Amino acid sequence: MRFGILSTAKIGREAVIPAIQASEHTVTAIGSRDAERARRVAADLGIPEAYGDYETLLADADIDAVYNPLPNALHAEWSQRAADHDHHVLCEKPLTVDSAEAIDLFEYCADRGVTLMEAFMYQFHPRTRRAREIVREELGELRAVESSFKFRLDWDGDIRLDPELAGGSLMDVGCYAVSSVRGFLGEPNRAFAHATDSRETGVDTNLAGTLAYDDGRVAQIACGFDSPHVERYRVETDDGWLEARDCFGPEPDQSVSLTYAVDGREVTETFDPVDQYRLQVEGFADAVSAGVDPLVDRAETLGNMRAIDALARSAERGEPVDVAPTVE
């Protein structure tokens, strides 16, 4: 598969482009609003073509698919434009600004016969699949899940602090925490959240939330831009627990582990280093080639966006809210 890259964003330069190039797929072109920057990044990364705007890349480049790491508020527009040129789309998370826009985008791409996938790379890591398998098959009745993703955002001019670009910690890193608890518990029924705006920029810089289930199970999520780096989730069952750290963004050369306990027996499993971005690219390309839904499919993305919508709505209102039903 030949990829075109929309923008010279850091996540593309440092993670996704090298992952594509390490696979059997290729990066054919990259575009930027700054033509000189596009040429410089193309030269540095060995990309054959560079374009000074996105539309020209979409129209002229010899590509099969687009990777879209633009700011959140631009995901839908430029993913639609890619679909207009019959390009499949791998788009950074969160896919859109809310679930309604996500529904529209999925329908738009389906109408044009292209595959759309949200880029949640951690879901392709073998540890993620194994953790869910352990909870499902080896532990008892699931009671609660906690998940946190926080780091210190040092630059006050960062686009993640811009409300016009759908910034905020919930959208940037909280989406991982929401995704991870849903991976164990499924779709929640209610949400309650509290958020703060420590930078006075108009977005949440810290958020703590609860996702509740009608059967009594509960999930706690936390995210933020003002704390030392932490990535973890912990699952509690009636006979034990499971915990993983560095669970969303391990480096390609980093071995990772998970630990679980059941009936007083504690086990740690270790996983060899893998490039989860490469696994994501390969999974996306394989789904396109086979004409099947990708691992992170429409239902997964919409479920996550509905929970995020509810948490954001609750934080704004200061009261619990219902999560929109999954039936469209």
pLDDT in tens, 76-122: 999 999 999 999 999 999 999 999 999 999 999 999 999 999 999 99
Q: Considering the domain boundaries, does residue 289 fall inside one?
A: no
- Out of 119, 148, 166, pick the residue that ends a domain: 119
Q: Please indicate whether residue 285 or residue 263 has the higher confidence score (pLDDT).
A: 285
Q: Is the pLDDT of residue 176 over 90?
A: yes
Q: How large is the average pLDDT for residues 9-13?
A: 97
pLDDT in tens, 119-167: 999 999 999 999 999 999 999 999 999 999 999 999 889 999 999 999 9
Q: Is the pLDDT of residue 327 over 70?
A: no
Q: Is the pLDDT of residue 270 over 90?
A: yes
Amino acid 82: pLDDT: 98
Range with the lowest mean pLDDT among 73-77, 308-312, 324-328?
Answer: 324-328
Q: Considering the domain boundaries, does residue 49 fall inside one?
A: yes
Q: How large is the average pLDDT for residues 254-276?
A: 97
pLDDT in tens, 200-242: 999 999 999 999 999 999 999 999 999 999 999 999 999 999 9
Are residues 6 and 109 part of one domain? yes
CATH of the domain at 231: 3.30.360.10
Task: Quote the number of domains for the chain.
Answer: 2
- Token digits of residue 195: 């958020």
Average pLDDT over the chain, rounded to an integer: 97
Amino acid 328: pLDDT: 57
Stretch (H or E) spanning 287: helix 276-290
Q: Kindly report whether the peptide bond that precedes residue 94 is cis, defined as omega within 30 degrees of 0.
A: yes
Range of the domain at 62: 2-119
- Out of 119, 145, 177, pick the residue that ends a domain: 119
Are residues 50 and 139 part of one domain? no
3 state SS of 8: coil
Q: Considering the domain boundaries, does residue 108 fall inside one?
A: yes
* Residues paired with 206 in a beta bridge: 196, 224
Q: Is residue 326 very low, low, confident or very high in pLDDT (cuts 50, 70, 90)?
A: confident
Phi–psi pair at 2, nearest 5 degrees: -100, 125
Active site residues: 93
Angle 102-104-108 from CA coordinates, rounded to 5°? 115
